Amino acid sequence: MKKQEKTHRSSRKTPRRGDATAFFDSSRSVDIVDWLVANPSEREKIEWMARQVGDTCEQVLKQHPGTHPRLADHFWCDVLAALVQVLTEALDEIDKFPSRVSQFTVDLLGARTWEAVHSQRAGSKGNAPCQQKKTRKTVSRADNDVAAGLHDAILEEAVKALVTALMTGATEATHGALDPIILRLRILAILFCPDPYAHKAVWDYCVVPLLKQGIVIRSQNYLQQFYDMFKQQWTWPT
């Protein structure tokens, strides 16, 4: 019993990945909900964006029934994270256009977003973005999409339709005006994603920037809580 107690105590000196994921996921969700409650106008805009995703998804499912499992494999958070990536990389370029985002700009964003989405899904293996290729027979998520009947042309059309819905009518395409749009997209991607900490695109382009900003996700607060929780003395339960 003493030896077993020592083994368990040793294993709990540092956080395990499952512990960390559960803790941060819970804290992240609470922080986002609190922020949405405190910012009703932003909440309404994000809800509108979510409806555009829902409408686009509904159209795809109507035209291609039975493809729900593939669309549920991080597809929509792939699209949202990719759009964030494209917007942040093209801020200066977009700023050269007139004050209102033109149709040409929207079409360009749609094309680049599709390229990013296709690259993400073609480069990740298994059934989740975090999984790596284990054998020569392991296929990519893009391969699984095709096998399910969701060919590139179908997904490209869906991506471009969603980008058009989200971006058409956005005014004053400058750094300052695009920042709120990017913030909303980041929050929506995190809310849509089943596992933001394992989904590289969502982590890199949505979670990390929000952690650094400390506006929506109060990282400093719960990082300290997490540290305090695991530095407590562990004792064998009686």
What is the pLDDT at residue 18?
A: 57
Residue 218's pLDDT band (cuts 50, 70, 90): low
Is the pLDDT at 183 greater than 50, yes or no? yes
What is the pLDDT at residue 138?
A: 74
Give 21's contacts (C-beta < 8 A, 6+ positions apart): 195, 197
Integer angstrom CA distances of residue 22 from 26, 72, 160, 196: 6, 21, 34, 12
Across residues 44-73, what is the average pLDDT? 91
Alpha-carbon distance of 23 to 29, in angstroms, equals: 10
Adjacent-strand bridge partners of 100: 171
Residue-wise pLDDT for 22-38, tens only, equals 555 655 677 888 889 99
Across residues 136-151, what is the average pLDDT? 85
Of 123 and 157, the one with more pLDDT: 157
The answer to whether 135 touches 112, Cβ cutoff 8 Å, is: no
**What angle is formed at CA 73 by the lines to CA 19 and CA 148, rounded to 5 degrees?**
150
Across residues 217-238, what is the average pLDDT? 55
Phi, psi dihedral angles at 140 (to 5 degrees): -80, 165
**What angle is formed at CA 182 by the lines to CA 177 and CA 185, rounded to 5 degrees?**
135
